Amino acid sequence: MKQLRLLIIDDDPEISGYIKMMLAHDAPHFRIDMLESSRECLEYLRENEVDCILSDYQMPEMGGMELLETIRSSGSDIPFIFITGQGSEEVAREAFKHGANDYFTKDIGFAHFPRIINSIEQAVKNREDNRQRRLTDEKVVHLNRLYSVISGINKAIVRTRDRKALMENACRIAVEDGFFKLAWVGMVNPDDLSVVPIAKWGNDEGYVSGIRISAKDEPMGRGPVGKAIRSGAPYVVNDTAADLDTPWKEQSIPRGYLSIAAFPIKLYGKAVGAFTVYSGEIGFFSEDEVALMSGLAEDISFALDAIEQEEKRILAEEALKESERRYKDLVELSTDFIYRSDRYGNQLFMNDAAYRMLEASPEEVDGHPWQKWIHPEDIKKSMEVFGEMMARGIDAFNFENRFVSKSGKIIHVMHNVRVLRDDQGAILGTQGIARDITEKKLAEFALKEAEKERNAVFHMLTHDIRGPLSVIYGYGDILKLEGGETAKIMEEIRKAARRISLLIDDMLAISRLESDEASLMLQPVFAMELIEQAVKDCEMFAREKRVEIKIEVEPKTPRIYADSAQMRRAVTNLLSNAVNYNRDGGTALIKAGVVPDDPMKIFIEVSDDGDGISEEDLPRLFEKYYRGKNAGKKRGTGLGLAMVKAAVDAHGGKVSVSSRRGEGSKFTIILPVKPGMT
């Protein structure tokens, strides 16, 4: 549908906005601008074309009626429609008297918008019809006189699809019906800009083949033909003997060429040749004859354009057919599902893979809503995504839902869908590709079930281990009372039991953090609190190892929302490692602050002066039960860093390490101020 340009004039922008919204909703082919005063409207019309004006009646400075009178007095016939709150028959009569096309009142809700739209379209159509009628009336007299020549040329254009044949017919008709002595067509050679004759008719006597003409501004190009081509306009010589100043003058007069006219032939608007006619009468080319031949040249130019376009169309069609064949091969050979639907959710196309997936025929799918194939539990979210695509014109990627085939088989699919638009940008529907991820989903489900079972077994085992440990602790306390060697032995047994208990705690902590059902006890906490608690937990160990612990915390480091117990365990673990793997008399530095260029994240950094970590150990450092080569005889379970990573991941953060042998190690935790922020 043709786009119409509308201008709304109303000093109340809310009313204008509402009218624009309602019109745009029901008539998307309207392009609407809004102004708040008649003065702005008149200024706008000086620079812009408008198909219809919708105006309020009563406005400050210049009302709608005065605006209408001003526009009509300028000679403009732009359709003018009043939409006003001044609803009276008297106002309506006055409006129509001054040339308004229609009149509407601002009723509550504006229930007559369909009538307004119809009135606009009818007014625009009437204006266009009137314009065409006036043009037709002006041309009638002239066309009657020139009808026979134009009719003949047009018939030749319709019948002819060959350039040379078209030019020869044009020359013949011009001579036979227009009473010219000679007519010929010359086209510019792009290599040297010479004009090469390709068709002629009439009393030639070797004239055309004997002359040399150029499109350049030189002596051989300063005759009618060269000038018409360079200027792109007709060039007339009505008295060859008096006015023609070219080398061909002496050849023209003996042949009876007493007046000459050359008309440019254009291809896509550029002059590429000329159609030249010769009359045996001086002053033969009046305005009517010039108009006749100009129209003839334009018809020929149009025909050349059409022939050129037809040739290009044929080539384009052949290329398109080849492209479509390749596209069809790709679509039909694809194992993914390729489909297209309209903006209302009706399926327009599916490839064979999609029909096979649904176990349905094209007749059962095409033209029907795609919702019928969606799993009932997924229809709502699928419609929400589709609705947002249509409303906002956005694409959807990696969207998952489930199809149900004709036999009831459930298929998990992942979609990538694009919005389809026409040349004006209006949304037509969607086109997408979907991949069957059923096996992947089943594998994920099986993995989750296995993980749940593993966790259940794990929790059972840890529970069964804790019972005997409690017995060991109890008897240990009793036997310690006997003193002597027995007490020393029991103390070692208690220490071993304690290490087992800590190992169980770490294993349970990791299991909870890695579980899909993991829950964090979030509360506001300062990084300084976590650091102070970690230092307190490690200070006795640090004194034994003769390692100094230093703290550097930026004063404006914000609080974070975190599980205090889990993050304390993580920071303590890093600090304990920094002490444990440090050199005698070394320093363990723990720092905290805001991540540069990202005020919504903080960092906690723990570094030491130890021997560092070998490069081959770094990639596996956060794996469960993995201990680096430089761990040596130092006590450890291989779960500490894995627990750190699990805790940080659960908070939506990241943990990293950098280290070089002989230069110590640095562990960095990055945490969002609030979980879920990235």
Query: CATH number, domain at 370?
Result: 3.30.450.20
Give me the percent of the chain exceeding a pLDDT of 70: 84
Q: What is the pLDDT of residue 666?
A: 94
In a domain, 294, yes or no: yes
Mean pLDDT, the chain, rounded, equals: 84
pLDDT digits (tens, 9 = 90+) for 485-513: 766 677 667 666 666 666 666 666 666 65
Q: What is the CB neighbour count within 10 angstroms for residue 256?
A: 15
Task: Compute the distance between CA of residue 315 and CA of residue 69 in angstroms, rounded to an integer.
Answer: 55
Record the tokens describing residue 591, joined without a space: 């720092």
Counted domains in the chain:
5
Radius of gyration of the chain (CA): 45
Q: What is the pLDDT of residue 476?
A: 66
- pLDDT(293) > 60: yes
- pLDDT(68) > 90: yes
Q: 86 and 224 in one domain?
A: no
Q: 527 and 505 in one domain?
A: no
Range of the domain at 83: 4-132
In a domain, 19, yes or no: yes
Confidence tier at 79 by pLDDT (50, 70, 90): very high
Total length of the chain: 678
Q: 353 and 285 in one domain?
A: no
Confidence tier at 80 by pLDDT (50, 70, 90): very high
Q: 558 and 576 in one domain?
A: yes
The partner residues of 671 in beta bridges, in order of sequence, read 602
Q: 650 and 556 in one domain?
A: yes
Q: What is the pLDDT of residue 592?
A: 94
Domain end position, chosen among 401, 435, 469:
435
Task: Compute the distance between CA of residue 174 and CA of residue 294 in angstroms, rounded to an integer.
Answer: 12
- pLDDT(333) > 90: no
Average pLDDT over residues 389-402: 92
In a domain, 193, yes or no: yes
CB 100 within 8 A of CB 53: no
CB 611 within 8 A of CB 578: no
Q: 365 and 304 in one domain?
A: no
Q: 166 and 303 in one domain?
A: yes
Confidence tier at 393 by pLDDT (50, 70, 90): very high
Q: What CATH number did the domain enclosing 16 receive?
A: 3.40.50.2300
Greatest mean pLDDT among 31-45, 133-147, 298-312, 564-578 lies in: 31-45
In a domain, 339, yes or no: yes
CB 394 within 8 A of CB 308: no
Q: 547 and 508 in one domain?
A: no
- pLDDT(575) > 80: yes
Task: Compute the distance between CA of residue 39 and CA of residue 35 in angstroms, rounded to an integer.
Answer: 9
Average pLDDT over residues 294-319: 83
Q: 583 and 451 in one domain?
A: no
In a domain, 121, yes or no: yes
Confidence tier at 270 by pLDDT (50, 70, 90): very high
Task: Compute the distance between CA of residue 666 and CA of residue 168 in angstroms, rounded to an integer.
Answer: 90
Q: 594 and 567 in one domain?
A: yes
Domain end position, chosen among 255, 274, 309:
309
Q: What is the pLDDT of residue 628?
A: 66
Helix (H, G, I), strand (E, B) or coil at 581: coil
Q: What is the pLDDT of residue 501?
A: 64
Q: 651 and 540 in one domain?
A: yes
- pLDDT(38) > 90: yes
In a domain, 322, yes or no: no
Lowest mean pLDDT among 204-208, 252-256, 315-319, 504-508: 504-508
Q: What CATH number did the domain enclosing 254 receive?
A: 3.30.450.40
Q: What is the pLDDT of residue 607?
A: 94
Domain end position, chosen among 309, 344, 360:
309
In a domain, 592, yes or no: yes
Q: 541 and 667 in one domain?
A: yes
- pLDDT(676) > 80: no
Greatest mean pLDDT among 297-306, 453-462, 645-654 lies in: 645-654
In a domain, 610, yes or no: yes
Please, which residues have CB within 8 angstroms of residue 578's CB and are 6 or more apart in sequence? Answer: 547, 588, 589, 590, 606, 607, 608, 610, 665, 667
